[in-house]
Chain A
């Protein structure tokens, strides 16, 4: 897959994961496994980017006597998610058109 496209998609997946409820590093990586393998070291810069774009905020909670950092979506993040969905709705209809009209000989 195109690397820029994939990057954008991973960001959207992370936003989608935390849109339901705040989540933490390990849980996000585990949830991602459903759709793709995302390494912890790749997730870190994504979280940072989303945070600096104010699409998510963080808070820490005590868990088992240690701190756990939670990532929470912001209204800006929700806006981006819904803009993405609208855009892809359009893309999907173009894809359907391409799919129907194209003749690929095997």
Chain B
């Protein structure tokens, strides 16, 4: 596989990330491949030496969520803790306990976040459906107003105004709800992919 093929496949694997995070990763690999090509290495050899896309994607998803067992600093203290405890230093032995608490807190927090996001997404999708129906109604009211105008011009004009307001307000609300639901679904995808199995 050449560089372009690799970047494209990687891009697909990490499509659950937001644009910034995705670009950061893609430019990281792109730069590495370019640098190695500048050093005279063969393009396809470089790509194959990067290893399987599964491993790369796994490493990436791991880096976007601190799983309790790979929590950088706090667990780094663990191998040292038994040593300090056995030598009588009690101050250090508190550190891992604190870390465990904060991990539990993180897990609870992310569960709450998932529930809130699901509720938000559901409400937003409901709002989108409702506003789309209202938009269709608005269009009918608008068409009706032209017919009405031939009988009573001013009443028809008022109806046209009402129709325009209905359409405008619903367009704005549906657009906002649509954006919110997309955001919450994207965030959900990230959270779920990060949740330790």
Contact = CB atoms under 8 A, between A and B. Distances in A.
Interface of A: 2, 4-5, 7-8, 11, 24-27, 29, 39-42, 44-45, 48-49, 53, 64, 66-69, 87, 94
Contacts, number: 63
Contact of B35 (A2, A24, A48, A87): A24
A60 to B, nearest CB: 9
Contacts of B35: 24-27, 68
Contact of B63 (A25, A44, A68): A44
Given A24-B31, A26-B35, A45 B62 contact: yes
B149 interface: no
Contacts of B193: none
Nearest to A87: B80
Interface residues of B, number: 28
A53 B29 contact: no
A25 B32 contact: yes
Interface in B16-53: 25, 27-29, 31-32, 34-36, 38-39, 50-51
Given A2-B79, A4-B76, A49 B63 contact: yes
B94 interface: no
B173 to A, nearest CB: 37
A29 B29 CA distance: 13
